[in-house]
Structure 1
Amino acid sequence: MRFLVDENAGVFVAHWLREKGYEVFSVYEQARGIDDDTIIQKAFDENWILITSDKDFGEKVYRDQYPHRGVILLRLENDRYTNKIHILQQVLEKYIEKLVDNFVVVTETKIRFATTQ
């Protein structure tokens, strides 16, 4: 599985995913400062699942109808990287087969899936 980790999701999340054996493109490390339109287009064109904390991607997918290969939107009250990793580990352990082509909103207490394509 391939993940494109947005800058706001953090470099530690990208490192952790790599340690788990996933292929990762880290915006922070590899393309710092690129705009959201470029990020979501790159994720689609190159078959990455986008991990982000930026709710603007919800607007891009639902209002602007951008295609995607999957988006994990982290809406966490505790934004520390350790919490992000803890929550993502739960998502990957329980729902990895449902991530492709779904828009997934993740909080500390729930995970909501929405098919957009």
Structure 2
Amino acid sequence: MKLLSDENVPAPSVALLRNRGLSVVSVMEEHRGMEDPDVIALAKRLGCVLVTFDSDIGERIFKDGDAPPPGVIYLRFIQTDPEETARVVLSLLALDRDEVEGRFVTYRNGRVRSQPLP
């Protein structure tokens, strides 16, 4: 599974995910300053699951009607440790593939909520 990490995902977290063998395209590295609609479109075009801390992504997809990417992992916690971010993403990816692809997965304080993308 390919990931697109939004600009708000720390570079050390991206490095840890890559070290675990995941293919991760980083907005911070390659598309700094890109607007949310363009990030969503890029994830869709590249066939990536979008990993983000940005609450606006869900609003753009569910309320504004932006065409969704293959999946979204929305993280809702205060980043204090890049390893925690990587661990959470890895644990979510360890779920059944159908629990991430085609879904908007929200992680907050150890709880996971998953809903289908439009």
- Is TM more than 0.5 here? yes
Identity %: 28
Query: Contact conserved, 1:77 with 1:108, CA < 8 A, in 2?
Result: no
Describe the superposition over 1:33-67 as per-residue Cα deviations: whole angstroms up to 9, x where unpaired.
11111100011111110000000001011101222
| Partner AA of 1:116 in structure 2 | L
SS at match of 2:4: strand
Number of residue pairs aligned between Structure 1 and Structure 2: 117
SS at match of 1:94: coil
The alignment's TM-score, normalised by the length of structure 1, stands at 0.90
The alignment's TM-score, normalised by the length of structure 2, stands at 0.89
Q: Give me the CA root mean square deviation.
A: 1.5
SS at match of 1:114: strand
Shift of 1:30: 1.1
Q: Which runs of 5 or more structure 2 residues have no equivalent in the other structure?
A: none
Aligned counterparts of 2:2 and 2:85: Cα–Cα separation in 1:
18
Query: Contact conserved, 1:75 with 1:107, CA < 8 A, in 2?
Result: yes
SS at match of 2:94: helix
Higher helix share: 1
Q: Which runs of 5 or more structure 1 residues have no equivalent in the other structure?
A: none
